[in-house]
Amino acid sequence: MKVKHLPKTHISVQKLNVFYKGHHALKDISVDIPEKQITTIIGPSGCGKTTLLKSLNRLIDLIDDVEASGRILFDGVDVLDKRVDVLNIRKRMGLIAQTPSPLPMSIYDNVAYGPRIHGTNETKELDQIVERYLQIAGLWNEVKNRLTEPASRLSAGQQQRLCLARALAVQPEVLLCDEPTSALDPISASHIERQLFALKQDYTIVFVTHTLRQARRLADYVIFLYLGQLIEQGPTEIIFNQPSDPRTKAYIEGSFG
């Protein structure tokens, strides 16, 4: 019999608690996120999905009066350790937000921005980086003759793919996606989904979605949150077809959310 090997853990969350101004947003969350798979975080609005996502690369630090405890081990390094290099963590874990947010500059400069910040200034090398990551994001053929135009002239779907290229250009190991298709039309959303599905060969992807059909299509692994608690986690086919907790079953069947 062929033995199926379990995926390697890339990020290990251990007893994570997050408070906003005294509100207990995440309660003792422990979960192992597999390497080079798509993990989706599902649950009703206000359950802590985005809080968990932004805890992974310390973006919750940007919120006033936030406190976090526990451990988030990323390749063995505790992200929550006060001594950790937060900028390096964020470089290694790029975020794609819900609403496309291109920088107020050209299409080319949006992709080149990160590499320049990290010391790449040769024009030829930047040209190669820009082309490579626009290709990976599925946008190159649409913009290769207009790279000097403002990114704001792109459609919403193109802007989101540009944001994907910009995130990839600094060579992260993990992509954190906060409902990146919710503001897009179906065709643009499909473009993003296809790119992410291809990218999991090289990246660990953590994807927040409010759409169960999307989670079922994309995910290898699912985390279900409810009222700040981790109710259930596991491979997609088990969570959707054989959930062990009645709250998971009720949510998947549309009884609430």
Look up the pTM and report it: 0.92
> pLDDT band for position 5 (50/70/90)?
low
At 257, the pLDDT band (50, 70, 90 cuts) reads: low
User: Could you read off the pLDDT of 34-66 as tens digits, one per residue?
Assistant: 999 999 999 999 999 999 999 999 999 998 899
| Residue 257: inside a domain | no
In a domain, 84, yes or no: yes
Q: Can you give the residue range of the structural domain that contains 138?
A: 9-252
Residue 2 has pLDDT above 80, yes or no: no
Give the count of domains, the chain: 1
3-state secondary structure the chain: CCCCCCCCEEEEEEEEEEEECCEEEEEEEEEEEECCCEEEEECCCCCCHHHHHHHCCCHHHHCCCEEEEEEEEECCEECCCCCCCHHHHHHHEEEECCCCCCCCCEHHHHHHHHHHHCCCCCHHHHHHHHHHHHHHCCCHHHHCCCCCCEHHHCCHHHHHHHHHHHHHCCCCCEEEEECCCCCCCHHHHHHHHHHHHHHCCCCEEEEECCCHHHHHHHCCEEEEEECCEEEEEEEHHHHHHCCCCHHHHHHHCCCCC
Q: Is the pLDDT confidence value at 100 over 50?
A: yes
Q: Examine residue 1 and state whether it is found in any structural domain, yes or no.
A: no
Looking at the chain, the whole-number percentage of residues with pLDDT higher than 90 is: 88
Comparing 60-64, 71-75, 146-150, the range with the smallest average pLDDT is: 60-64
Average pLDDT estimate for 124-149? 96
Taking residues 211-219, report their average pLDDT: 95
Domain holding 82: CATH number? 3.40.50.300
Q: Is residue 176 in some structural domain?
A: yes
In a domain, 37, yes or no: yes
Identify whether 3 is part of a domain.
Answer: no
